[in-house]
Structure 1
Amino acid sequence: MNSPKIPLSSPDVTEAEIEAVAATLRSPQLSLGPRLAEFETAFTLLTGVEHAVAVSSGTAGLHLAMLALEIGAGDEVIVPSFTFIAAANAIRYVGATPVFADIDSVTLNLSPAAVERAINSRTRAIVAVHTFGIPANMPALVALAGRHHLALIEDACEALGATIDSQPIGSFGDIAVFAFYPNKQITTGEGGMIVTRDAGLASHMRSLRNQGRAPTDSWLQHTEIGYNYRLSEIGCTLGIGQMRRLPAILDRREEIAHIYRQHLSAERRLILPIDEMPGCCISWFVYVVRLADKFTAADRELVIRELEQAAIGCGRYFAPIHLQPAYADVPVAADLPVTESVALRTIALPFFNRINDSQIVTVCDALKLAVRRIS
């Protein structure tokens, strides 16, 4: 299949960043060097959280968070089913059980009421995903976690730069994880970042990412079983350059979301993502619309087919985790009506820093034509 003329996503890497990476490649140290420390420092400054640990992916970060919090067999962790599968996979990596809770129909984030219903004596933690860059209800989830003595992990992989009452996302939980896959707000190719206020947790995760080496261990000495979850100096160099542009990147992505809303708001066959939340700043990761409630999954497939025929990239964000074959052996403790209803009708539209206004109009015109054909 030929690549679409307007892709779903596209990385934004400047010539200056390429030159910086080339300079790092000419340096004598390509791992565990000065760029790692510089990149981590950039995250402590952004989030206001004291400790940052760069890792090879957001998934690796979530895995290390589970290990550092000593979550394991017999434990349950509450997580949304309407999210990328890595959030649940990390729970299973440590032998714990993901317990899926339903989402709010507007923000598409965990419903605090659904989370509270899912808590029992085996619950150890809550994974609060900031879906599509829209902040989850952290005040309510922080209160819930505190009341029930649970760990709170922020999956901020889609929400770099978002805030609640000027407090950065990533600074609410015990541990937060960001990710830098090429479709994210910034990219390191692959990569992730963990932040925490707990020095002990940070030290443990640094050891775990580096094959279980404690700070006092020699290269061939290992205090515990660990993993190769390091982020290279190459990735850190790219991340440093991207972080310098983050304010401009976030502004442009907000502008793109605004243009989409301008062109689609009159189309009653579509439900657009929330774009204003009191006290909150959204960090736009993707732009996901959904068909109105009267439409079906089959209707969604017809719309996607038309967009693809027009050479427009699109996606089905997200397929519920609890309905996927890999999770057929995991019992679902509660009904998830909002998750299942929303997921049948979502369509992710092209969204990336360098999409131009003309391309956005082309996407909107094609989408409006497609949805009118199915009504």
Structure 2
Amino acid sequence: MKKEVPLSRPDIGDRERNAVMAVLNSRWLSLGPVVLNFEKKIAEYVGIKYAVAVNSGTSGLHLVVRSLGLPPGDEVITTPFSFVASANCLLFERVRPVFVDIDPLTLNMDCSNLENKINGKTRGILPVHVFGHPADMASIMKIASEHGLTVIEDACEAFGSEYNGKKAGSESDVAVFAFYPNKQITTGEGGVILTNRQDLAGLCRSMRNQGRDAGSGWYDHERLGYNYRLDEMSAALGCAQLSRITEILAKRAAIAAKYNYKLKHIDGVIVPYVAPGIKMSWFVYVVRLAPGIDRDVVMQQLTEKGIGCRAYFQPIHLQPFYRQMFGYKPGDFPVTESVAATTLALPFHNNLSEEDIDYVVDTLGHILGKY
């Protein structure tokens, strides 16, 4: 019997609805007290001094790069295995993303190759915590310190994850989280910049609001800025979600554990690797298929059975405009390309039932049994 099992679904209850309605019944829909409260709570949760809420993780990354004042032609080292925004945010400011291939287990940047990419134009490192698995921040911060580089932590997929007991987003010069509906907590659309540097926080706060400084008049603009503000309704939703973060992370961990147990009996499926010292917050649940299995055919057959699925991620360097701009070609980052051809995101959200998990696992097992 065919079932419909969506790839993701936000976990919204009465607490969230009531919080949003309270804003709608107030005089403030934007530039009000709820955004300030959300920033305060996020900063306290991660253990960082300053939080600047924005309307998306992409906006946050852009503001961070711009606030660093990197001249066109400077370089920042990052990963080709990510959502494209982590590299695009550099191109927005004409900074060149320099890719380093990934570790085949964690799928994060391979720090053993990091120093080989550093040259006179290198100004920073932008690690991405892929699928919520923190990158090797100890190695990254050590290398950055030795070479005088800024670390921009793309933690958009890792809210609540920990690395050796430290929260993702707490170790770098500046970090960004995102709260799209499939993230651990959601504000609908939205994100936040976290930093202990008052200068960066102040610049980002100004630039998200059309370049106005604190205390300036509405038509006084100190610098080039943008409308990257988060509205009050979104912040209220975020506050309600954050108040449930322990419950939410426990739900996601339990579902991932069920998948791990049920999938380990199916030939051809490699369950997600979690390195020692890592506490995953589980953004998505992505398996890898064994060589010889046509992932795209498997996806098509899962879709026909009503099961949401997706290939996470396509290599950034092979996106058409990156190939055109930089001359990248297949084979440039072989680990990334090999991994990207085998990844398969399965349905994953807070309230996924065991019945749905069984349906997904049984259907996948039946499809793979034909190979």
Name the TM-score class by shorter chain: over 0.9
- Corresponding residue for residue 238 of structure 1: 237
Q: Structure 1 residue 99 and structure 2 residue 94: aligned?
A: no
- Corresponding residue for residue 145 of structure 1: 144
Q: Structure 1 residue 304 and structure 2 residue 305: aligned?
A: no
Which deviations, in whole Å up to 9, do the C-alpha atoms of 1:41-95 show, x marking residues without a partner? 1111111110000000000000011011112301111111110000011000001
- Corresponding residue for residue 154 of structure 2: 155
In 2, the alpha carbon distance for the partners of 1:370 and 1:201 equals 51
Distance change >3 Å, CA 5–CA 92, structure 1 → 2: same
In 2, the alpha carbon distance for the partners of 1:77 and 1:295 equals 36
Contact 2:318–2:328 (CA<8 Å) still a contact in 1?
no
Alignment of 1:271-350 (within 5 A): 271-275=270-274, 277-292=275-290, 294-295=291-292, 299-328=294-323, 329-332=325-328, 335-350=332-347
User: Structure 2: which 5+ runs fail to align?
Assistant: none
Q: CA deviation at 1:4?
A: 7.5
Amino acid at match of 1:204: L
Distance change >3 Å, CA 303–CA 371, structure 1 → 2: same
In 1, the alpha carbon distance for the partners of 2:287 and 2:70 equals 36
Alignment of 1:102-117 (within 5 A): 102-117=101-116
Q: Number of aligned residue pairs: give it.
A: 368
Q: CA deviation at 1:165?
A: 1.9
SS in 1 for 2:71: coil
Distance change >3 Å, CA 369–CA 250, structure 1 → 2: same
- Corresponding residue for residue 81 of structure 1: 80
SS in 2 for 1:314: coil
- Corresponding residue for residue 365 of structure 2: 368
Percent identity at matched positions?
47
- Corresponding residue for residue 267 of structure 2: 268
Contact 1:20–1:237 (CA<8 Å) still a contact in 2?
yes
Q: CA deviation at 1:335?
A: 2.9
Amino acid at match of 1:262: Y
Q: CA deviation at 1:331?
A: 3.9
Distance change >3 Å, CA 145–CA 4, structure 1 → 2: farther
Q: CA deviation at 1:332?
A: 4.4
Contact 1:4–1:313 (CA<8 Å) still a contact in 2?
no
- Corresponding residue for residue 189 of structure 2: 190
In 1, the alpha carbon distance for the partners of 2:319 and 2:27 equals 45
Contact 2:54–2:228 (CA<8 Å) still a contact in 1?
yes
Q: CA deviation at 1:108?
A: 0.4
Contact 1:320–1:339 (CA<8 Å) still a contact in 2?
yes
SS in 2 for 1:129: coil
Which deviations, in whole Å up to 9, do the C-alpha atoms of 1:214-270 show, x marking residues without a partner? 113111100001000000001000000000001110011000000001111122311
Contact 1:154–1:170 (CA<8 Å) still a contact in 2?
yes
Contact 1:100–1:332 (CA<8 Å) still a contact in 2?
no
Which deviations, in whole Å up to 9, do the C-alpha atoms of 1:284-336 show, x marking residues without a partner? 000101111x225xx11111111011100000000001111121212449931
- Corresponding residue for residue 53 of structure 1: 52
Q: CA deviation at 1:18?
A: 0.9
Amino acid at match of 1:198: R
Contact 1:291–1:345 (CA<8 Å) still a contact in 2?
yes
User: Structure 1: which 5+ runs fail to align?
Assistant: none
In 1, the alpha carbon distance for the partners of 2:3 and 2:34 equals 36
- Corresponding residue for residue 24 of structure 2: 25
Segment of structure 1 superposing worse, 116-125 or 176-185: 116-125
Amino acid at match of 1:338: V
Contact 2:77–2:117 (CA<8 Å) still a contact in 1?
yes
- TM superposition score normalised by structure 1: 0.96
Which deviations, in whole Å up to 9, do the C-alpha atoms of 1:128-177 show, x marking residues without a partner? 10000011100000001111111101100000011112111101111000
In 1, the alpha carbon distance for the partners of 2:192 and 2:320 equals 29
Contact 2:133–2:158 (CA<8 Å) still a contact in 1?
yes
SS in 2 for 1:108: coil
Amino acid at match of 1:350: P
SS in 2 for 1:124: strand
Contact 1:152–1:174 (CA<8 Å) still a contact in 2?
yes
Contact 1:99–1:332 (CA<8 Å) still a contact in 2?
no
In 2, the alpha carbon distance for the partners of 1:4 and 1:37 equals 43
In 2, the alpha carbon distance for the partners of 1:266 and 1:23 equals 49
Cα RMSD after superposing both structures: 1.4
- TM superposition score normalised by structure 2: 0.97
